[in-house]
């Protein structure tokens, strides 16, 4: 009698993976059906749907309720600033999106005989962080739907309640406006790495904001992926800076949402000739300068076994001061200055702190300041951004020319300017690409162009062929034609 093989038993991990794939198959089916129903939408209809998504989170009552829920769920940030974030980022992104065409012909170049047509990229899988569990999902949904795509959102475990709520609001607003609700979906709870991985495997484009582990997993998935890098923003305070104005902007940016933004200042590099005056200005703006002993106490509480302590990051200044054992004077401060002299693993304050602690370096001159900024970014934050407070634009241009970062902000509050502002030209976003320097596929702020494919219609034009002499002439003049 022939041997009859027995199927290998299915382990719990394999069983869960099968369940996750089945869940994703259902969500993907709904997403593709919604895209099919939306495929013929005009630009006016698309923009109406984008407005619906924006209003879902921008409406004042919802903006507040989602902010309160986010702080309650995650323990990160503060309610007033999250309200601002929910509204300001949404409003700015809506402005950018409504000024762009993403349906039909979006560009014509008669001289080259080229006409460009925008098409959807497909179903977007959006992995979102706990720091912005409402604003980031809404931001990505608006961009995705602007390109006539559907989006499935993977929330962070800590933020899944808030993210699920904002998705419910967006779906309800889509229905109210007469658009397919399944253009926007969310992974069902409980969120897991397995379910998030199943989304990455199933979707057409992955967009990741959050942990670098998720970014790396997205790039390994085999699907087109857009990830963002780690923030660790260093800012130079130049000799010519308006110190009072610089201190006010640094304070506003550093304390916004208790420094949850990847664009918050993490280090100041102050020129030696204005160092004391700059520190005085920062103190006047609400900063507390820690002593060496206090620096050690902050370090011991802010990091536990080499990892940031979730009990202290993104907390109010009074909580930070109390938990680190700072004196009563410090408990009236808004942020905390820690003088640092080195960069690297042995100097944890040189990295991203996700808290109201701000490292301060002294530099003998502008050359030394650039070197220090380069060291900080090489340790953490490669490609992300840096800034300078100066009246000397040649210094600002040097930073842009010499440093491998995507954004250099001049005389701006980083947390408000880096992801787009009404007084700079950067696109509004909550996801900042860091180029290949930061291991990313884009070197710009995430925007609608990342959510469309382009078909190029090419027609015949008068021949545009230069002579051999026009192309090789300068080379022949310098080097000859060779043997």
Instruction: Kindly list the catalytic residues.
Output: 262
Asked whether 208 and 218 are in contact (CB, 8 A), the reply is: yes
β-pair type (205-208, 335-339): unpaired
HSE-up of residue 268 (Cα within 13 Å, Cβ side) = 30
Q: Which residues in 130-145 are b (16+ Cβ under 10 Å) and which e?
A: bbbbbbbbbbbbbbbb
φ and ψ at residue 460, rounded to 5 degrees: -70, 135
């Amino acid at each position: 009698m022939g041997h009859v093989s027995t199927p290998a038993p299915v382990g719990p991990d394999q069983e869960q993976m099968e369940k996750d794939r089945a869940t994703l198959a259902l969500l993907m089916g709904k997403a593709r059906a919604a895209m099919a129903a939306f495929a013929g939408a005009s630009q006016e209809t698309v923009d109406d749907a984008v407005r619906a998504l924006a209003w879902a989170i921008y409406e004042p009552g919802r903006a507040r309720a989602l902010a309160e829920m986010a702080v309650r769920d995650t323990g990160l940030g503060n309610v007033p600033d999250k309200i601002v974030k929910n509204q300001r980022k949404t409003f700015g992104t809506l402005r950018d999106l409504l000024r762009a065409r993403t349906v039909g012909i979006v560009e014509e170049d008669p001289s080259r005989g080229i006409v460009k047509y925008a098409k959807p990229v497909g179903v977007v899988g959006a992995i979102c962080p706990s720091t912005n569990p409402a604003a980031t999902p809404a931001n990505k949904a608006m961009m995705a739907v602007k390109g006539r795509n559907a989006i499935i959102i993977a929330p962070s475990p800590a933020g899944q309640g808030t993210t699920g709520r904002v998705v419910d609001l967006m779906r309800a607003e889509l229905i109210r406006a007469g658009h397919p609700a399944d253009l926007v979906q969310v992974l069902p709870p409980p969120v897991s790495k397995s379910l998030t991985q199943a989304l990455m495997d199933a979707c057409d484009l992955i967009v990741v904001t959050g942990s670098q582990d998720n970014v790396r997993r997205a790039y390994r998935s085999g699907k087109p992926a857009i990830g963002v890098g780690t923030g660790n923003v260093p800012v130079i305070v130049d000799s010519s800076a308006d110190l009072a104005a610089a201190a006010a902007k640094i304070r506003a940016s550093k304390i916004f949402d208790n420094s949850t933004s990847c664009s918050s200042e993490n280090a100041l590099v102050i020129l030696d000739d204005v160092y004391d005056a700059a520190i005085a200005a920062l103190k006047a703006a609400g900063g507390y300068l820690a002593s060496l002993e206090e620096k050690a106490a902050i370090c011991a509480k802010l990091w536990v076994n080499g990892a940031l302590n979730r009990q202290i990051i993104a907390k109010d200044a009074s909580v930070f001061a109390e938990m680190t054992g700072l004196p009563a004077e410090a408990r009236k401060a808004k942020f905390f200055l820690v003088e640092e002299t080195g960069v690297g693993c042995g100097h944890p304050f040189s990295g991203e702190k996700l808290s109201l602690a701000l490292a301060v370096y002294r530099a003998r001159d502008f050359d030394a300041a650039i070197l220090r900024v380069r060291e900080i970014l090489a340790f953490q934050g490669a490609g992300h951004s840096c800034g300078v407070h100066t009246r000397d634009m040649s210094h600002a241009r040097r930073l842009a020319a010499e440093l491998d970062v995507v954004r250099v902000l001049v005389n701006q509050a980083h947390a408000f300017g880096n992801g787009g502002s009404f007084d700079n030209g950067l696109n509004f976003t909550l996801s900042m690409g860091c180029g290949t320097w930061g291991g990313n596929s884009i070197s710009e702020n995430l925007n609608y162009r990342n959510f469309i494919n382009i078909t190029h219609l090419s027609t015949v034009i008068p021949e545009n062929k230069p002579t051999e002499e026009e192309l090789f002439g300068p080379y022949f003049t310098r080097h000859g034609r060779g043997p």
